[in-house]
């Protein structure tokens, strides 16, 4: 039975994503109504610049007073696509107080204040859904939270930032340096004028916090995520990666420790074997590889940004939240019952590829190997390459077995103190094996 009284939606933000949400709500109105069991009506659109022409949106719905819109009292669902911490946080909290559920695409806010916002939603018997906050159109939050609710997730390994994947893919396929590839990403509109949030890994770290929290039923905040950007990756790193059958990706990695007693979350560039499914994720696409006890390995792949793909995820949430509302129910809220400690980066165990510039003379290899041994880091392969004929220097490339980040850090510190080690050219983790 179709209810005739519509569910009222307030849209906060009408930029690239918001305008697509409004467009799809209009063009797919009949299908959305049939799927929900009641029509959905756009009751108001809060914007910063009211004079801008917004095709397909009744100007009478447009307001600059977002607070008044969420306080109207007749709004069923607030869709927040403004981004950033404030005023989004206050508006969402107010929306709950005034009886609305919320659909948000705001990764930064969820990564920072997810627990408080979930608590506010629960206090008011409302829903807080945010599929669009992580990897755009790709269904991830709901599969982790609902489809895998009976399984035990051990690892989430993802490419969750399209801009950096575009840049790294360009460097890989053309031999370009970082700046050249970034310039192309900017010219094509993938990178923002200020690319810091993407290239320094902040965007991916927020997404890692959200994914880790859901995957491990544990509160993981942005501050818990170890973060390294990808601005230092060079064409030489790609050449080195190729020599060991790898490419380089900026990865978000959320892991349960081997003993199950703690978790880690981190974002950094890493070498990954060309045989791993994530290695073939090209251009600005995103993909997330999930490993769980019963399901084994799963991969979720698709467009991680853009107006229409992100709106697809928002609309999916909108339908779910509206259905819950009609049923007088709420969907799953925060699940943090496991409350596992989040370990520091030093506890992470992985493999490393280290390039050293060393003196090319007897005993140097033995000296270097001794430093690794003294720190309990086992060497898998060593390759030495003479450089210019007769300059007395060589490049030494060491790939280790699995070791803790703390042990590797100690090793590198000691290597730097050796007279025969002229420099540590690069250190990169090797993942996905």
CA distance 389 to 372: 28
The CA distance from 406 to 417, in Å, is 17
DSSP letters, 189-252, are: TSS-SS-HHHHTTHHHHHHHHHHHHHHHTS---GGGSEE--STT--HHHHHHHHHTTEEEEEEE
**Cβ 211 to ligand HSE shortest distance, Å:** 13
How many of the other CB atoms lie within 10 Å of CB of 212? 29
**Considering beta carbons, is residue 44 or 303 the nearer one to ligand HSE?**
303
The DSSP symbol for 344 reads -
Beta carbon nearer to ligand HSE, 204 or 396: 204
Shortest Å, Cβ 133 to ligand HSE = 8
Is 207 catalytic? The answer is: yes
Nearer to ligand HSE, 315 or 377 (CB): 315
User: Minimum distance from CB of 19 to ligand HSE (Å)?
Assistant: 16
DSSP letter at 146 equals I
Residue 308 CA: distances (Å) to CA of 109, 114, 313, 316:
22, 25, 9, 12
Do 128 and 141 touch, CB atoms closer than 8 A? Answer: no
Rounded least distance, CB 132 to ligand HSE, Å? 9
Q: Do residues 10 and 77 lie in contact, with contact meaning Cβ atoms separated by under 8 Å?
A: yes
In the complex with ligand HSE, the residue whose CB is nearer, 182 or 398, is 182
Q: Which is nearer to ligand HSE, 162 or 302 (CB)?
A: 162
Closest approach, Cβ 307 to ligand HSE, in A, equals 11
In whole angstroms, give the CA distance from residue 391 to residue 386.
9
Q: Which parts of this chain interact with ligand HSE (CB under 6 A)?
A: 161-163, 198, 203, 304-305
Residue with Cβ nearer ligand HSE (16 or 427) = 16
Cβ–Cβ under 8 Å, residues 68 and 88: no
Q: Do 140 and 288 meet the contact criterion of CB atoms below 8 Å apart? A: yes
Q: For residue 299, how far is the Cα from the chain centroid?
A: 15
B/e letters for 97-116, b = 16+ CB within 10 Å, e = fewer, are ebebbbbbbbbbbbbbbbee
Please, what is the minimum distance in Å from the beta carbon of residue 192 to ligand HSE?
Answer: 7
- Of the residues 8, 107, 170, 207, only one is catalytic, namely 207
Residues recognised as catalytic: 207
């Amino acid at each position: 039975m179709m209810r005739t009284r519509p569910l009222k939606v307030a849209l906060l933000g009408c930029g690239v994503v918001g305008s697509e949400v409004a467009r799809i709500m209009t063009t797919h109105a009949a299908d959305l109504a049939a799927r929900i069991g009641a029509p959905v009506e756009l009751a108001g659109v809060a914007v910063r610049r009211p004079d801008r022409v917004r095709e397909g949106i009744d100007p009478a719905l447009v307001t600059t007073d977002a607070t008044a819109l969420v306080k109207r009292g007749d709004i069923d669902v607030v869709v927040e696509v403004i981004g950033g911490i404030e005023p989004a946080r206050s508006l969402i909290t107010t929306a709950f107080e005034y009886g609305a559920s919320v659909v948000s695409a705001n990764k930064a806010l969820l990564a920072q204040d997810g627990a408080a916002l979930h608590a506010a939603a629960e206090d008011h018997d409302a829903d807080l859904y945010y599929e669009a906050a992580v990897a755009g159109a790709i269904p991830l939050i709901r599969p982790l939270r609902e489809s895998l609710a009976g399984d035990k997730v051990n690892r989430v390994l993802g490419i969750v930032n399209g801009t950096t994947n575009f840049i790294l893919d360009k460097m890989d396929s053309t031999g370009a340096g970082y700046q050249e590839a970034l310039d192309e990403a900017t010219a094509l509109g993938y990178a923002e004028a200020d690319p810091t949030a993407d290239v320094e890994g902040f965007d991916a770290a927020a997404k890692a916090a959200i994914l880790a929290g859901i995957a491990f039923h544990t509160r993981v905040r942005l501050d818990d995520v170890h973060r390294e950007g990808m601005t230092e990756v060079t064409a030489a790193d790609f050449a080195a990666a190729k020599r060991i059958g790898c490419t380089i990706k900026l990865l978000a990695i959320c892991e349960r420790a081997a003993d199950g007693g703690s978790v880690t979350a981190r974002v950094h560039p890493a070498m990954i074997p060309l045989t791993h499914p994530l290695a073939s994720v090209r251009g600005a696409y995103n993909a997330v590889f999930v490993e769980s006890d019963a399901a084994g390995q799963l991969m979720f792949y698709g467009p991680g940004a853009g107006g229409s793909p992100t709106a697809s995820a928002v609309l999916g949430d909108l339908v779910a939240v509206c259905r819950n509302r009609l049923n007088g129910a709420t969907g799953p809220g925060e699940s943090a019952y496991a409350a596992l400690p989040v370990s520091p980066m030093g506890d992470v165990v992985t493999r490393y590829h280290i390039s050293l510039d060393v003196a090319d003379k007897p005993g140097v290899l033995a000296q270097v190997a001794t430093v690794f041994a003294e720190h309990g880091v086992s060497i898998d392969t060593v390759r030495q390459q003479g450089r210019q004929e007769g300059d007395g220097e060589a490049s030494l490339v060491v790939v280790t077995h699995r070791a803790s980040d703390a042990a590797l850090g100690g090793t590198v510190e000691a290597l730097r103190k050796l007279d025969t080690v002229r420099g540590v050219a690069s250190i990169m983790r090797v993942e996905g094996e």
